[in-house]
Amino acid sequence: MSEINLKGNPVNTSGALPAVGSKAPDFILTKTDLSDVSLKDFAGKNLVINIFPSVDTAVCASSVRRFNQDITAIADTVCLGVSLDLPFAHKRFCSAEGIENVVTTCELRSRKFGEDYGVRMVDGPLAGLLSRAVVVVGKDGNVLYTQQVPDIVEEPDYEKALASLK
């Protein structure tokens, strides 16, 4: 279990992020077109996993916009946005914001991602949702970088996450 904060108030997650150097846990997530993706679908590419509570909050929306902008500068790299928002909410947001470089997904059919990545909030007002975190996976499927953002209202460290790929 990890302790983070929501506006300075303690919140616990279901576990810890995968260790740097370890194999990234597999997952099944659902895209906006209702098709499922798993880790193997990104084999041979770098993967930046941007995890957040809801695309309908300002900080979450900012992180999707920022990764959408910055991810294009790194060859063979995909950004995967993950939350519990329904695919329809992700599609609405991406259409309205012109998001074309982030594959937005949710835990529609499987709730294992939040547990396997240790990011499910288990208490506090957002219990059940995913915390704000970033996991970078290299082309070989190994974890290169992780950040569990200390307070949910803060943005992740974009520069460090992307620098892990250079």
Phi then psi for residue 140, to 5 deg, are -85, 0
Average pLDDT (118-144) is 97
- For the chain, domains (ranges, CATH) are 3-153 (3.40.30.10)
DSSP character at residue 25: P
The mean predicted confidence, pLDDT, of the chain is 95
Of the candidates 121, 107, 104, the one whose C-alpha atom is nearest the C-alpha of residue 27 is 107
Q: What is the pLDDT of residue 76?
A: 95
Q: What is the pLDDT of residue 45?
A: 97
Tell me the CB-side half-sphere exposure of residue 98, using CA atoms within 13 A: 2
Q: Active site includes 60? A: yes
Confidence of residue 29 (pLDDT cuts 50, 70, 90): very high
pLDDT tens profile 61-88: 889 999 989 999 999 999 999 999 999 9
**For residue 49, what are the β-bridge partners?**
80, 135
End-to-end CA distance of the chain: 31
Sign of CA dihedral 42, 85, 17, 133: positive
Average pLDDT (102-119) is 96
Q: What is the pLDDT of residue 166?
A: 82
Sign of CA dihedral 136, 28, 97, 57: negative
